[in-house]
Structure 1
């Protein structure tokens, strides 16, 4: 299983409301936390995001839902990657940093330039989507291609010479709707999703960028991605904290996100003097402390948000962490030291 930042759902709530429905019902049906509709940095299963788009499109009889949502999204949803993109000197730099760091937004998604599938040497294809072998969600792919298209338009001041849009499926919405949106021919049932553009497009310079900001953003992205000297404990702790309350924070899920085998991850943690179970327990303790002292959430909800299925389990953990109950911690305003 792979994950994506909940920023990918920007605009979903508003678009669904515009169509006369409640986005929270669709989120619940697909196992997504309601908070994912209103915040950018939750890690949610990418298949659940794809499912909620497909479900809403079907039940609302809105086959162009992905295109509609894209109009409510902007580059800021990519977080630090957006800063690097906005301050890139050319589209070549945009494509390079996107290819290198898009995984920080969505682990499995890629955007890569490839030779033209029709053999035209003056054309390249900006291939978008999941790796080969993965299913291609229609609404999710529509949304992603539309986002890439509108981002390039903004970066190069609208027109960039889009030649055609390649879709690996036959969309339910009329082809004319896609042609109106993209302003280019649509070709269906192709091997993969892509935007075909002039080969010289990446060399076009971009105005308004700041070279220093671009360099700083790239350095920050490199740090977020984890360099050779990065502590695996720090990476695991950050990943576990993001997974809490979204999907079960199991070592297998964390290892997949960090692209290592679970046994390798355990060995690296042991080399740094700790274990996955210890890091998970500490993350739960710290998050529980934050929820208890800064919110009035019900205890059952706090337990769920730190990945515990039972409130009684939460109570036992609290006694082990602080020697008292969650209620006592909340009343005191801050937990006693372990």
Structure 2
């Protein structure tokens, strides 16, 4: 696409720190931030504000390799989305896909959230490219009338708004909190044509062989999210899954693969925070209970007996756990 616009693709790749030969090697995993930088730089210097959208129109499911085989042979839309959420790391380490409640609160509508974890801002061109590719992938799997209601895009329009409406075939809202395709809630229940389950299982096995590194990271990410959320009420599996840009079912499956559960991770985070506050501060025990999400001092004392075989007050007095 860059070369068709008169640009030097290799030059852009070099300037944006892609390794030599990256453009000719489909198997080489590169930083998604570097691809984002190429898109932004090329769009600006080649005066092509819809570059990300143009690239997406050249992409199809085949670029996903084994993941495409899994999707094309999935029994339902729910299964296809779940597998995409689980294995998207093969193509982009930091990008995620998750089903979320409708950001506009409409009945009978849910959202398919695409992008980086909450709080990480994605450059417009790469977001345009990824979101349009997701729309085209759903169209390829299900058909052009798959139930798209509107498109939510977090940035200002990079290209004329008519271009977005034309390509998505729906109203597009800009400057929104997250990148979301709003779809009919019955979409996930729709069956797909299915296909060759042997091919699907072989493709899943290949993807699974590349998953251990990611799985080891999920417990740590869950612990970090819970540590930040203690005391705010946002410590349910659904809330943490949204923070990590995955479905609650996917989060629970990753944790199970690492030999733990969401409840166990939450319990450990609470225990560590409670111990730290009891030993290192003079905060009232009732306040500590609230901070770790246990409500009151009596509840914290019950947990303390299970954690340390003594009361919270005695932990504070002895300064040991």
Q: Under a length normalisation based on structure 1, what TM-score does the superposition of the two structures give?
A: 0.61
| Whole-angstrom CA distance in 1 between matches of 2:24 and 2:192 | 32
Structure 1 residue 212: Cα displacement? 2.3
1:60 and 1:225, CA in 2 relative to 1: closer, same or farther beyond 3 A?
A: same
Q: Is the 8 A contact 2:49 2:158 kept in 1?
A: yes
CA contact (8 A) 1:164 1:184 kept: yes
| Structure 2 counterpart of 1:158 | 144
Q: C-alpha deviations, 1:144-201, integer Å up to 9, x for none? A: 0011000110111322121111011102211111000100001011000010110011
In 2, Cα distance between equivalents of 1:34 and 1:146: 28
Alignment map for 1:320-335 (pairs within 5 Å)? none
Q: CA RMSD in A?
A: 1.9
- Counterpart for residue 143 of structure 1: 129
Runs of 4+ in 1 over 3 A off after TM superposition: 227-230
Partner of 1:52: 38
Rounded Cα–Cα distance in structure 1 between residues aligned with 2:113 and 2:215: 32
Q: Contact conserved, 1:164 with 1:196, CA < 8 A, in 2?
A: yes
Query: Is 1:89–1:211's contact at 8 Å kept on the other side of the alignment?
Result: no
Quote the residue 1:67 is aligned against.
53
Using a 3 Å threshold, how does the CA distance of structure 1 residues 98 and 229 change in structure 2: closer, same or farther? Answer: closer
Q: Which residue among 112, 117, 122 is the counterpart of 2:108?
A: 122
Q: Tell me by how many angstroms 1:226 deviates.
A: 2.6
Match of 1:78 in 2: 64
Q: Provide TM-score, normalisation by structure 2.
A: 0.64
Structure 2 stretches of 5 or more lacking a match?
217-321
Distance 1:35 1:203, change over 3 A: same
- SS of residue matched to 1:18: coil
Question: Hey, what's the Cα distance between the residues in 1 that align with 2:41 and 2:187?
Answer: 36
- Partner SS state of residue 42, structure 2: helix
Q: Is the 8 A contact 2:155 2:176 kept in 1?
A: yes
Q: In the alignment, which of 112, 122, 125 is matched to residue 98 of structure 2?
A: 112
Tell me the CA shift for residue 71 of structure 1. 1.4
Instruction: Note the 1:1-338 alignment, pairs <5 A.
Output: 15-207=1-193, 209-226=195-212
SS of structure 1 residue aligned to 2:22: helix
Equivalent pairs, count: 216
Residues 61-95 of structure 1: CA distance to partner in whole angstroms, max 9, x if unpaired?
Answer: 11110110011112122222111111101111101
Q: 1:40 to 1:86 in 2, by over 3 A?
A: same
